Structure 1
Amino acid sequence: MLTLDKIYHAKFILKQIARKTDLIAAPRLCPGTDLYLKTENLQVTGSFKVRGAYYKISQLTEAERAKGVIACSAGNHAQGVALAATRMGIKSVVCMPDGAPIMKVESTKRLGAEVELVKGTYDDAHDRAVELQQETGMTFIHPYDDELVIAGQGTIGLEILDQLPDVDAVIVPVGGGGLISGVAFAIKSLRPEVKVYGVQAAGAPSMARAFHDHHYETLDRVDTFADGIAVKTPGELTYQMVENYVDDVVTVSEDEIAAAILSLMENQKLVAEGAGATPVAAALFGKLPLAGKKVVCLISGGNIDVNILSRVITRGLVMSGRKANLMIALEDKPGQLTLVSDIISACGANVVSVHHDRSDANMAITSCFLKLGLETRNAAQIEEIKQRLTEAGFELVSERV
């Protein structure tokens, strides 16, 4: 059974490996809310996962250490297990889904683990890890549904209360539930009046559904670029703890997550992965009652795949009204493009791409489609441009990202 003493013991053990990450004020992110960021993206492995993995492995017997450890992970837990096992001279094997970011796979190998890529999702990697554990007798280090792992993650809750004693609410990303279970248990044990909220990607809402339906369930599929929380089945232990200690679990869309990543980069100079940005997305888009409160968003990790970062930024720009694509039906005659550009210029936007399309079978032979890519200030400016173009007699056919 998890106790506060175990979390305090984990805090003592983790002094030798984990950073006490900074809690920084973020006044520009969410006007009307006194917002702070707990920067676990700046942890030694770029994620909070090292806390739970290291504490669990540190408590193994000599016989268990001799056989080695095995784990399953989409990436962050893998790196935590690899680092902890290597530091203690223990062999480690990690099963990862074959779609895991290359950066996370290579980092896990570099930290000393043997990696086996498994076709499918995290849950398929979990099944393979369990199979290997039964064959080899190695100790399975569960990424979330383990009392000692949860105790390690709970040290973040102790740090938050130490760094901001008068905090009103803490928002935590949720995948399998290990992080929020530890944080919520620590905070509610010491300050039961503090609200603890969970956030999931809308494409992987396993814990959100379980929480609101009041029964444990498994999703048929998950679909989110936030790979760190793309979990079909929450933990059984963590589900019970979320039921007991968490005030609410909400979801955010892919576009909202992308906008949060962009906002963190621009306003705080912080890089967060999809999972790590979900608390900020919940705050930015009004998913929770935070007005006038002192709120901590737990940025759980920063290990985003650089191959998708540019696409995420583009989505974030569109979501925040900073980028727009317009398609206008024009009569194919001199002066039309000049009129359009004059309107856009007068509104203060910048044209970054122009394409004439005369080949569409749905338009008149004497017409063309003008496709424009624009840099804009916000959604209001985009609406102003559309209105001015319409008033000038131009037909807006569609707008596409």
Structure 2
Amino acid sequence: MTPDPVTGETTPRASDVVTLAEIEAAADRLSDVVHRTPLDSSTTIARRSGAARVDLKLENMQRTGSFKIRGAYNAMAQLPSTVKDRGVVASSAGNHAQGVALAGKLLDIDTKIVVPEITPAAKIEATRGYGADVVVEGEIYEDSYEYALDVADDEGREFVHPFDDENVIAGQGTVGLEIIEDTPDVDTVVVSIGGGGLISGIATAVKAFDADVRVVGVQPEGAAHAKPSLEADEIRMLSDIDTVAEGIADARLLEQTFAVVRERVDDVVSVSDTDLAVATTLLAERAKTVVETAGAAPVAALLSGAIDVDGERVAAVVSGGNVNLTDHGELTRLGLQHLGRYVDARLELDGWPTALGAVTETVEEHGAELDGVERVGRSAEGRPNRVPVEVGLEGSGPDHLGTVLDALDDVDGVSVVAHTLGDE
């Protein structure tokens, strides 16, 4: 039998899920456990978004590299001793896994974590490093979630939900308390949405301080379930997930987060994976901070114009920084390409390898950087007496790189046959 849909009429009131008092109690519980992360101003993001000021709440600098330790510890610290003795199990795309694992280590609770196949290896190894037993099961998070529930039944462990738990939500809400304490004149707070636990807690804390502060959620286009759910006033579940932001690659809200989000979140917007790559790039370059794509989503929304923040003071929650360095490097290169500051070019050289020296000299003379050279196979369209190579060029902008490409095409023995500048 298909279960009845969860609607606005059947969900609890937000006040029955989480209150300011519960978030304040969580803050006391966490005071000696978590870092109070910085709120760092970014003039670059403010200028590009039109905001008067943008402050980045750097939860990527939190213990375990994300905000998740807040909710996990707050929930696990309140478990009865008999439940703690049985151990816990959790499902996660990576960050909740590390939060539960560290909380288990601090509270002396045995932990087992189920992660989907998309979870970066760095997150899996970090979770094991905290002493947890990690099981890789399922293509997407929903598969891991169902498997973890089976483990809970079979082994008698307590399931620690990554977001649909009032104590987890209260712990995440401590991020909102810190934002309000550090910037009481904030106009808009922007937060990523996966399952909705973080934004539920933050919105509760912020709105208790000032109901007029706008709270906006951000999701990747390939996992944008919250907006349709809010518009229908009914939880909608996605059948397919397709996004680079595995940390917020959830398929739906659940009852408690839906209840809070529908009452306390003002709007939800979506961003493309390209927007996420650009935001990740600018955060690394200008804010000097390594951020995973899920954590970069609020900045992506500001940079892409998905949210109108003209003249406002904005706080953007950078929720995590647990990255696979290879993926991060590829993403930042893609981001530079879409900013017009990186180009892949295919050249044909007459007189290999002598002509390669001329390529290097020309690039250096024009103030650009040569990012790798690779000799590639000849194509049917190419000239058999010339050697094809692919190069990456980094410059200050599309005009600069266009000048470099033109200069290369003028070098004797060098032809530029294809490039990505201006391509989408």
Task: Normalising by structure 2, report the TM-score.
Answer: 0.84
Give the aligned length: 399
Q: Which residue of structure 1 aligns with residue 165 of structure 2?
A: 146
User: Among the aligned pairs, what percent are the same residue?
Assistant: 37
Please, which of 76, 83, 89 is the counterpart of residue 64 of structure 1?
83
What pairs with 1:384-399 in structure 2 (closer than 5 Å)?
Answer: 397=418, 399=420
Q: Which residue of structure 1 aligns with residue 24 of structure 2?
A: 8
- The change in CA–CA distance for 1:398 and 1:310 in structure 2 (over 3 A counts) is closer
Q: How far is the alpha carbon of 1:58 from its aligned partner?
A: 1.3
CA contact (8 A) 1:72 1:122 kept: yes
What pairs with 1:181-220 in structure 2 (closer than 5 Å)?
Answer: 181-220=200-239
Structure 1 unaligned segments of length 5 or more: list them.
none
Q: How far is the alpha carbon of 1:365 from its aligned partner?
A: 6.7
Alignment partner of 1:221 is 2:240: yes
Q: Which residue of structure 2 aligns with residue 74 of structure 1?
A: 93
CA contact (8 A) 1:330 1:395 kept: no
| Partner SS state of residue 60, structure 1 | coil
Q: How far is the alpha carbon of 1:385 from its aligned partner?
A: 6.1
| Partner SS state of residue 51, structure 1 | helix
CA contact (8 A) 2:118 2:246 kept: no
Alignment partner of 1:256 is 2:275: yes
CA contact (8 A) 1:327 1:399 kept: no
Q: Which residue of structure 2 aligns with residue 313 of structure 1?
A: 332
Q: Which residue of structure 2 aligns with residue 238 of structure 1?
A: 257
Amino acid at match of 1:194: V
Q: Which residue of structure 2 aligns with residue 268 of structure 1?
A: 287
Q: Give deviations 1:366-394, integer Å, cap 9, x for gaps.
A: 888775532221234345667899999x9
| Partner SS state of residue 145, structure 1 | coil
| Partner SS state of residue 78, structure 1 | helix
- The change in CA–CA distance for 1:12 and 1:378 in structure 2 (over 3 A counts) is same
Q: Which residue of structure 2 aligns with residue 19 of structure 1?
A: 35
In 2, Cα distance between equivalents of 1:156 and 1:124: 29
Q: Give deviations 1:318-360, integer Å, cap 9, x for gaps.
A: 122221123478999xxx9999999978875445556787832
Structure 2 unaligned segments of length 5 or more: list them.
1-15
CA contact (8 A) 2:345 2:390 kept: yes
Alignment partner of 1:85 is 2:104: yes
CA contact (8 A) 1:329 1:397 kept: no
In 2, Cα distance between equivalents of 1:79 and 1:58: 16
Q: How far is the alpha carbon of 1:85 from its aligned partner?
A: 1.9
Amino acid at match of 2:84: R
Task: Normalising by structure 1, report the TM-score.
Answer: 0.89
Q: How far is the alpha carbon of 1:16 from its aligned partner?
A: 2.1
CA contact (8 A) 1:331 1:366 kept: yes
In 1, Cα distance between equivalents of 2:362 and 2:118: 45
Name which of structure 1's ranges 37-46 and 108-117 shifts more when overlaid on structure 2.
Answer: 108-117
Q: Which residue of structure 2 aligns with residue 303 of structure 1?
A: 322
In 2, Cα distance between equivalents of 1:187 and 1:366: 67
CA contact (8 A) 2:195 2:254 kept: yes
In 1, Cα distance between equivalents of 2:296 and 2:385: 48
Name which of structure 1's ranges 25-34 and 291-300 shifts more when overlaid on structure 2.
Answer: 25-34
